Amino acid sequence: MALVPNVRCEFVTYAVVKHEIYTLSERAWCHAYDPKGRRLETWAGGHELRNLWQASSCVVDGMLFNVDPGRSLGHLIIVFDLKKQVWRPVKIKDVNGLPPCLYQYGYESKMGNIGGNLVILVGNQTQWWDYEGEKSIWCVEIGLRRNQGGEIWGKVESVEVVFKTTESTPSIELCRTVIV
């Protein structure tokens, strides 16, 4: 593999979509690398992807899903369609069943694609402060479907606490495998 010149930064997150690797740097620069063609595109500003993309994200069916606790588009979960280059809301049924910590600490959550469903792991406290009391990690599974108009809907399939401790605040890390 050839080295790509002039790209020196740490990445907040990345996603692999249709054989391209997309990265988001700490300064909100986006990069798209095509390993087969050895092409790199970089967006410093003015690109829709970088506006709302953050660390809690994953790819399902060629689209980038993201947790957005600030509800920029009016919804907690948003999706970026790489073909159309736009962010859209994911309309979730049964949002009353979601744990409050997803709204409070959603930026610290980790999201994964499990069999086409979104799985979100989120702590009930921020990892940046060591609070007294019980600390827990919640797992939220959301089933996805696209209607005929192209809107994406989510249905909360399960919500449960998967880890509890009174020790230091746990952090969540996910590892992804990339095959090129």
Greater model confidence, 59 or 18: 59
DSSP codes, the chain = -PPPTT----EEEEEEETTEEEEEETTS-EEEEETTTTEEEEE-SS-HHHHH--SSEEEETTEEEEE-TT-TTSSSEEEEETTTTEEEEEEEE-GGGS-HHHHHSGGG-EEEEETTEEEEEEESS-TTS--SS-EEEEEEEEEEEE-TTS-EEEEEEEEEEEEEESSSPP----------
Question: What is residue 179's predicted lDDT score, i.e. its pLDDT?
Answer: 45
Are 59 and 17 in contact, with CB atoms under 8 Å apart? Answer: yes
Residue range 56-63: mean pLDDT, rounded: 88
Residue range 27-48: mean pLDDT, rounded: 81
Greater model confidence, 47 or 76: 76
Task: Please give the Cα distance from 90 to 57 (Å, whole number).
Answer: 13
Name, in order, each residue with C-beta under 8 angstroms of 43's C-beta and a sequence gap of 6 or more: 29, 30, 31, 49, 50
Residue range 87-114: mean pLDDT, rounded: 84
Task: Please give the Cα distance from 102 to 109 (Å, whole number).
Answer: 7
Are 21 and 35 in contact, with CB atoms under 8 Å apart? Answer: yes
What are the two backbone dihedrals, phi and then psi, of residue 102, each rounded to the nearest 5 degrees?
-65, -35
Domain chopping of the chain, boundaries: 11-165
* Residue whose token pair is 């899903």: 65
Task: State percent of the chain over pLDDT 90.
Answer: 22
pLDDT tens profile 101-125 = 887 777 788 888 988 999 998 887 7
Residue range 155-175: mean pLDDT, rounded: 75
Question: What is residue 180's predicted lDDT score, i.e. its pLDDT?
Answer: 45
Task: Please give the Cα distance from 28 to 168 (Å, whole number).
Answer: 30
Question: What is residue 29's predicted lDDT score, i.e. its pLDDT?
Answer: 81
Question: What is residue 127's predicted lDDT score, i.e. its pLDDT?
Answer: 61
Are 76 and 98 in contact, with CB atoms under 8 Å apart? Answer: yes
Confidence tier at 87 by pLDDT (50, 70, 90): very high
As a residue count, the chain comes to: 180
Token duo for residue 68: 């957005």
